[in-house]
Amino acid sequence: MKKILPLIIAFLLITPTAFAKLSNEGYFDEVILEESAAIVEPAGDSLSQKAPAIQGEKTLREKLSDVYHLEVEKYDKPTYLFQDILTKKFDEDSPMESLQLWGGYNGDIGVYMNEDASSSSQYDFNTINVGLDGKLKNNNADFRIMFNYAPLSSRNVVQNLFADMYIATNKIPHHRVMVGHTRPPVGMEGGYGPFVLPFIARSQISRNFGTIRKLGARVSGDYSLIDYDLGVYSSDTYFQEFFPGTEFIGWVNLKPLAKTNGKYGNLKIGGGIDAGNRDNSFCVAGAYIGYEYKRFMANFEWANADGYNGPSGFSTDKHASGFYATLGYMLTKKLQILARYDEFDPDRNISHNNQREYSLGLNYFIKGQGLRLILNYVFCQNDAAKDSHRILVGTQILL
């Protein structure tokens, strides 16, 4: 990966210049995405730039031009830069509507310094995913097969490799039913995918309680004033045991300003629970408040655990709690500034062991979440250990 990162950076630096030169020479015409014709897949197994274009079809060159001119204003979901190129659409006789191959990378080069001014650098890749998304016609069903290629010493290759593996349907109005291996909403941020996070690192309650994948069945509903996600799962994590117990995970959000068409912003007030049994019982409860208005955003999340079953391991004897508060503002359409206070108590039965993180961040959205540059500074203040500083320079690219 150390060799791949410079190549990616070089590609990102060289590509705009090359495209600008081709555009000036008349090879590309500017494409307005909102007014472009519907895409029709070419016949055959490959995309040929020399083949005559069928009416309404875009050549590979035109699709690359679309990527170059792409402007993304919303950052609440991933944008795949090569979605048109890596998507296969099927004819009317097929039950399949489309297949999309995609890849995602989110990584950082971190510099860590403690109070003695000693420092070290290391390369730490957070996420390397490759996925295949399929859709059936008439909204009958869709599925995802996703692999995680980021190594982790605490799990073997197979346990870490298999990420999202599910089939779902949206046939019930306002609802989505999913069965398989998915990321449940253990906390609001804990249920987010890695490619929409404001900072490189998640909050401490998310790192300890949430951001886990489990095998089970879930149903989510989305109405104008309320949304919810309820599911029953095996309490196993990462295919380490065969059904050691049952786990219920549910989250509900209220949206009291949804009927105002954004005049007063968007307010979300939520709460949820993760409770189950794995040798012994455990329970995590949480609450969330999030608000967005024009270029401003703020959110607050709290969680309390009497035992938990998170990514750092299963624990029934630890009574932990924590909260974070985040503020963000879009200085321009592409540049966002962030600040976060994050406090975590790993065991309420032990005094003077709190861990606090003060974070500042900059996000530069070159192509929305599809191509993003990240700069984070984190001051870690620990009651029971030495304080430390972290400077994280990262990038995110979704193909």
Per-residue pLDDT of 42-99, as tens digits, reads 333 333 334 444 456 789 888 888 888 888 888 888 999 999 999 999 998 999 999 9
Show me where the domains of the chain are located. 1-69, 76-104+125-354
Q: Is 138 left (phi over 0), alpha (psi -120 to 50) or beta?
A: left
Q: How far apart are CA 71 and CA 333, in angstroms?
A: 10
Q: Is 366 in contact with 76 (CB distance < 8 Å)?
A: no
What's the pLDDT score for residue 114?
64
Q: What is the CATH number of domain 76-104+125-354?
A: 2.40.160.10
186-200 exposure pattern, b = at least 16 Cβ within 10 A, e = fewer: bbbbbbbebbebbbb
| Structure-token match 């709690």, residue found | 321
Three-state SS string over 74-143 comes to CCCCCCCCCCCCCEEECCCCCCEEEEEEEEEEEEEEEEEEECCCCEEEEEEEEEEEEEEEEEEHHHCCEE
Query: Average pLDDT of the chain?
Result: 83
Q: Which of 163, 190, 179 is nearest to 284 (CA)?
A: 190
pLDDT tens digits for range 10-43: 444 444 444 334 334 443 333 333 333 333 333 3
- What is the token pair recorded at 122? 């290391």
What's the pLDDT score for residue 127?
86
- What is the token pair recorded at 226? 């309320």
Is the pLDDT at 126 greater than 50? The verdict is: yes
What's the pLDDT score for residue 153?
59
| Structure-token match 């290759």, residue found | 157
**Residue 160 three-state SS:** helix
What's the pLDDT score for residue 36?
32
Query: In the structure, what pLDDT confidence band is assigned to residue 366 with cuts at 50, 70 and 90?
Result: very high
H helices of 221-267, in order, are: none
**Residue 317 three-state SS:** strand
Longest dimension (CA), the chain: 73
Is the pLDDT at 252 greater than 70? The verdict is: yes
Share of the chain above pLDDT 70, in %: 80
